[in-house]
Structure 1
Amino acid sequence: MTTDESAPVRRRVVLTGISSRAWEHPADRGALAALRELRGFDDVLKALSGLWNERALRLEYLGSAIRVDHRQYPRVYRLFAEAAASLDVAELPELFVQYDRSINGMCIGMSKPFIVINSGALELLDDEELRCLLGHEIGHLLSGHAVYRTMAMILQDWAARLAWLPVGSLALRAIAAGLREWWRKAELSADRAGLLAGQDPHACLRLGMKLAGGGDLSEIDVTAFGEQAAEYDRAGDLRDSMIKIGMVLDRTHPLPVARAAALRQWIDSGEYQRILSGEYPRRDDQSASSVRDDVKAAADSYRESFARSQDPLMSLLRRLGDGAGDWVGAGADRVRDWVSGVGRPRANGSQPPPTGDAWSDATNADRDRGDEQP
Structure 2
Amino acid sequence: MSDDGHQHTGHERVPGRQRRRFPGISTRAYEHPADRSALVALRKLSGFDTVFKALSGLLPERSLRLLFLSDSVRVSERQFSHLHDMLLDACYILDLHKVPPMYVTQDPQPNAMCIGLDEPIIVVSTGLVELLDEEEMRAVVGHEVGHALSGHSVYRTILLFLTSLALKVAWIPLGNLAIMAIVTALREWFRKSELSADRAGLLVGQDVRASMRGLMKIARRQPDHANVPVGPLPAGRRGRGVARRTGPHHPGTARGGGGPVPRPARGDHPRGHGPQPPGHPRLPAAQRPRASAIARPAAPAGTSVVARCRR
Query: What residue number does 1:216 align with?
Result: 224
Query: What residue number does 2:196 align with?
Result: 189
Segments of 5+ residues of structure 1 without an aligned counterpart are: 1-7, 220-374
Query: What residue number does 1:147 align with?
Result: 154
Structure whose residues are more often helix by fraction: 1
- Cα separation, 2, equivalents of 1:15 and 1:55: 32
SS in 1 for 2:224: coil
Which of 115, 121, 141 is residue 114 of structure 1 equivalent to? 121
Which of 85, 101, 123 is residue 108 of structure 2 equivalent to? 101
1:40, distance to aligned residue in structure 2 (A): 9.0
Query: What residue number does 2:66 align with?
Result: 59
Task: Provide Cα deviations, 1:252-298, integer angstroms capped at 9, x if missing partner.
Answer: xxxxxxxxxxxxxxxxxxxxxxxxxxxxxxxxxxxxxxxxxxxxxxx
Instruction: Please report the TM-score for the alignment, with normalisation by the length of structure 2.
Output: 0.63
Greater gyration radius: 2
Query: What residue number does 2:167 align with?
Result: 160
Contact 2:117 2:157 in 1 (8 A): yes
1:175, distance to aligned residue in structure 2 (A): 1.9
Matched, 1:138 2:145: yes
- Cα separation, 1, equivalents of 2:90 and 2:192: 22
Contact 1:195 1:201 in 2 (8 A): yes
Segments of 5+ residues of structure 2 without an aligned counterpart are: 1-14, 228-311
Query: What residue number does 1:69 align with?
Result: 76
SS in 2 for 1:24: coil
1:116, distance to aligned residue in structure 2 (A): 0.6
Task: Provide Cα deviations, 1:196-248, integer angstroms capped at 9, x if missing partner.
Answer: 111111000000111122221898xxxxxxxxxxxxxxxxxxxxxxxxxxxxx
- Cα separation, 1, equivalents of 2:149 and 2:93: 13
Contact 1:210 1:217 in 2 (8 A): no
Contact 2:103 2:123 in 1 (8 A): yes
- Cα separation, 2, equivalents of 1:9 and 1:54: 36
1:43, distance to aligned residue in structure 2 (A): 6.2
1:153, distance to aligned residue in structure 2 (A): 1.4
- Cα separation, 1, equivalents of 2:112 and 2:85: 17
1:50, distance to aligned residue in structure 2 (A): 3.6
SS in 2 for 1:189: helix
| Structure 1 residue identity aligned to 2:224 | D
Task: Provide Cα deviations, 1:39-71, integer angstroms capped at 9, x if missing partner.
Answer: 996664342134321110000011111111112
1:167, distance to aligned residue in structure 2 (A): 2.1
Structure 1 residues 122, 57: closer, same or farther in 2, change over 3 A?
Answer: same
Structure 1 residues 217, 21: closer, same or farther in 2, change over 3 A?
Answer: farther
Query: What residue number does 2:99 align with?
Result: 92
| Structure 1 residue identity aligned to 2:67 | E
| Structure 1 residue identity aligned to 2:177 | L
Contact 2:42 2:185 in 1 (8 A): no
SS in 2 for 1:115: strand
Instruction: Please report the TM-score for the alignment, with normalisation by the length of structure 1.
Output: 0.53
| Structure 1 residue identity aligned to 2:138 | R
- Cα separation, 1, equivalents of 2:71 and 2:193: 28
Which runs of structure 2 are paired with 1:1-374 in the superposition (5 Å)?
A: 9-35=16-42, 44-213=51-220, 214-216=222-224
1:12, distance to aligned residue in structure 2 (A): 1.0
Structure 1 residues 217, 17: closer, same or farther in 2, change over 3 A?
Answer: farther
- Cα separation, 2, equivalents of 1:41 and 1:184: 18
Contact 1:86 1:198 in 2 (8 A): no
| Structure 1 residue identity aligned to 2:116 | G
- Cα separation, 2, equivalents of 1:190 and 1:10: 22
1:33, distance to aligned residue in structure 2 (A): 3.8
